């Protein structure tokens, strides 16, 4: 009995010491997080700017292998995301991964809109700036064929470009978490219902839609997510790798970009309300956009549990395009884990590599 009691005391003492040590580590690292000290650097993959216009930049990333695939890959960013989300940190960068697989990688970064950019419309991006970027990629690579890779709205822009310019469409179009059927957008569509959401008043009042407005709308889809992430962070503050990854993800979520006003007005009226891409009625700048004219190879990568762009909104993409070479990849996960993190590293990235590789020679 005495021995059992002593053993129990030693066990309790050991547990107390361990918890005390972890608490010290939590406290020390919590100050780093709260004060923003030693923030992880993101977007570190070497690149050069080969074209610019206003806030827009077209990057070419430095190749990491001696021989690259013939067809270059052009990342098309969303209007409300910064480009580093696809180039987070070494080992968690899709850009870095594709470079190491032998691809010649470029990226369209729309930049942070200035107040005067509130007049920019969807056609300014899809019918004007994107063709100019494609022209530059073709000039630098000395190859006519180009592959597009777009995440969320970036995939939508790639789809709209290919619909508008079937004669100059990308050879390959990879869309990731790309909304096409806006009747499936769940709460975001319900909140934007014209019966209570006056988009004209919002745009006329703000100009560009503030980043805080965009972020709050997305956070409201799962209002407890941030609180739960703080709780999980506290439980794991003793683990430097967990803290580093948490800070990278947190920066991604909080670092939104204002939505150019007129483009937002169009997005709400033509797509969220009118669902005109699905109905075949979408026109930009007087040009009819018909996805059935797309003959590019198309990959539609979707997340089964995406709460921002639900599966109901992404699933119909392949039914819109006219090409016969089309493939769907459904991944268990959410909007962010589809493109970044362990789930992406094991599922999406290898599939993208294999799908692009056989179509890039």
Which residue did the predictor score with more confidence, 280 or 243? 280
Tell me what pLDDT residue 31 has: 47
Summarize pLDDT for 3-24 with one digit per residue, the tens: 565 556 566 676 667 666 666 6
Tell me what pLDDT residue 64 has: 94
* Average pLDDT of the residues in 58-84: 94
* Average pLDDT of the residues in 269-291: 95
Tell me what pLDDT residue 3 has: 58
pLDDT tier for residue 295 given thresholds of 50, 70 and 90: very high
Tell me what pLDDT residue 260 has: 96
Q: 152 an active-site residue?
A: yes
Asked whether the predicted pLDDT for residue 25 surpasses 80, the reply is no
Catalytic-labelled residue, pool 152, 175, 200, 239: 152
Q: 306 an active-site residue?
A: yes
Tell me what pLDDT residue 35 has: 43
Residue 259: DSSP 8-state: B
Query: Residue 1 contacts by C-beta under 8 Å, 6 or more apart in sequence?
Result: none
Tell me what pLDDT residue 185 has: 93
Tell me what pLDDT residue 231 has: 83
Distance separating alpha carbons of residues 307 and 315, to the nearest angstrom? 14
Residue 147: DSSP 8-state: E
Tell me what pLDDT residue 36 has: 52
Nearest to 117 by CA among 329, 291, 260: 260
Alpha-carbon distances of 262 from 90, 155, 206, 310, rounded to whole Å: 36, 20, 11, 25
CATH for the stretch 47-357: 3.40.50.1820
Summarize pLDDT for 94-143 with one digit per residue, the tens: 999 999 999 999 999 999 999 999 999 999 999 999 999 999 999 999 99
Q: 118 an active-site residue?
A: no
Tell me what pLDDT residue 2 has: 52
Tell me what pLDDT residue 43 has: 87
Summarize pLDDT for 223-263 with one digit per residue, the tens: 888 788 888 887 887 788 888 878 878 887 788 899 999 99
Alpha-carbon distances of 295 from 51, 123, 163, 349, 359, rounded to whole Å: 28, 21, 9, 24, 13
Which residue did the predictor score with more confidence, 225 or 331? 331
Tell me what pLDDT residue 19 has: 62
Catalytic-labelled residue, pool 104, 124, 181, 306: 306
Number of H helices, E strands in the chain: 16, 10
Burial of 286 (0-12, 13-18, 19+ CB in 10 A): exposed
* Average pLDDT of the residues in 154-181: 95
């Amino acid at each position: 009995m005495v021995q059992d009691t002593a053993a129990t005391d030693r066990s309790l003492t050991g547990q107390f010491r361990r918890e005390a040590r972890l608490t010290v580590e939590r406290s020390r690292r919590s100050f780093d997080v709260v004060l923003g000290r030693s923030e992880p650097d993101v977007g570190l993959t070497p690149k050069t700017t080969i074209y610019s216009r206003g806030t827009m930049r077209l990057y070419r990333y430095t190749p990491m292998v001696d021989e690259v695939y013939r067809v270059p890959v052009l990342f098309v960013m969303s209007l409300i995301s910064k480009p580093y989300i696809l180039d987070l940190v070494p080992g968690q960068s899709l850009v870095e991964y594709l470079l190491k697989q032998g691809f010649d990688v470029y990226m369209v970064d729309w930049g942070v809109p200035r107040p005067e950019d509130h007049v920019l419309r969807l056609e300014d991006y899809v019918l004007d700036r994107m063709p100019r970027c494609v022209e530059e990629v073709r000039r630098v690579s000395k190859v006519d064929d180009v592959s597009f890779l777009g995440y969320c709205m970036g995939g939508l822009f790639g789809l709209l470009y290919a619909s508008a310019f079937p004669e100059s469409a990308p050879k390959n179009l990879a869309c990731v978490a790309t909304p096409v059927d806006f009747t499936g957008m769940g709460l975001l569509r319900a909140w934007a219902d014209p019966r209570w959401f006056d988009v004209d008043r919002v745009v006329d009042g703000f100009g560009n839609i503030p980043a805080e407005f965009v972020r709050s709308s997305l956070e409201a889809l799962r209002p407890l997510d941030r609180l739960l992430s703080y709780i999980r962070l506290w439980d794991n503050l003793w683990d430097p790798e967990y803290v580093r990854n948490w800070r990278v993800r947190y920066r991604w979520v909080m670092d939104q970009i204002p939505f150019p006003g007129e483009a937002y007005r169009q997005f709400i009226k033509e797509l969220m309300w009118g669902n005109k891409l699905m109905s075949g009625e979408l026109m930009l700048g007087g040009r009819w956009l018909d996805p059935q004219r797309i003959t590019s190879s198309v990959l539609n990568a979707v997340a089964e549990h995406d709460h921002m762009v639900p599966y109901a909104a992404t699933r119909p993409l392949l039914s819109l395009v006219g090409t016969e070479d089309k493939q769907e990849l459904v991944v268990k996960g959410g909007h962010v884990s589809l493109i970044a993190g362990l789930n992406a590293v094991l599922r999406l990235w290898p599939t993208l590599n294999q799908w692009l590789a056989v179509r890039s020679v």
